[in-house]
Amino acid sequence: MFDDLVAEASAVSVDGWEFSWLDGRATEARPSWGYQRLLGTRLGGVRAALDLETGGGEVLDDCPALPPVTIATESWPPNIARAAARLRPRGAEVVATAGFPFRDNVFDLVSSRHPVTTDWREIARVLRPGGTYFSQQVGPASVFELVEFFLGPQPEDARNSRHPDHAVAAAIRAGLEVVDLRSESLRTEFFDIGAVVYFLRKVIWMVPGFTVERYRDKLRELHEHIEHNGPFAARTTRFLIEARKP
């Protein structure tokens, strides 16, 4: 059973940024604010928008209407192709970059769901006066029960590195005004070891350098835990931040 689950999860593609393969194998509670709906509302009211780290374009593509000027950035080659296939038929441009090759004061809205990093100064630069940055982000110590199972106890600076207070301070330093901030702690469960393998292959910063070969003993240990005790539970943290350029 262990070998079959691991082999299956090792073979499946982890391109894009949707997690439908985990249906029935893992659950993650969603924040109450509904980022997708809120983003769609904001996109409907602007003329120029930039979506950063768009993944495979899934989040943007699920919005009912896109502005006349819509640009999405992505730096991982497999995701670039997926995003282009999804978004270009809708009139959006996909730019293969991890940076900000855009002029000053261009966009009414800059958005990003679960960015790896947030370059607040560049965001402030490309926003038009009165424009907003709107983002749902991973919060502090998210899924650290799983991280620490593989890596051991993590230092406090690692546990708090994504605290929303840090984001607020960085936004203010960049000259932006934070107009909304919400945070929630949510329950995540993994029902089999295949779900864990898939998750760690896809969310590569959780356990840096993760491979099945390197962590096979720990994976087997976790498999036995799930078999005897039920789903492995962790806490997922999320925060929503909206900041406006004066």
Q: Tell me: the pLDDT tens digits for 165-177?
A: 999 999 999 999 9
CA distance linking residue 90 with residue 102, whole number of Å: 21
Whether residue 173 contacts residue 120, with contact meaning beta carbons closer than 8 Å, is answered with yes
CA angle 102, 96, 52 (to 5 degrees): 65
Interatomic CA distance for residues 210 and 229, integer angstroms:
24
- State how far the Cα of 137 lies from the Cα of 163, in Å rounded to an integer: 10
> If you count them, how many residues does the chain have?
246
pTM score: 0.90
Enclosing H/E stretch for 95: strand 93-96
pLDDT tens digits along 11-49: 999 887 778 999 999 999 999 999 999 999 999 999 999
CA 14 to chain centre: 14
pLDDT tens readout for residues 86-102? 999 999 999 999 999 99
**Structural domains in the chain?**
2-244 (3.40.50.150)
- Tell which residue, 242, 244, 243, 228, has the closest CA to residue 35: 242
Contact present, 66 and 90 (Cβ < 8 Å): yes
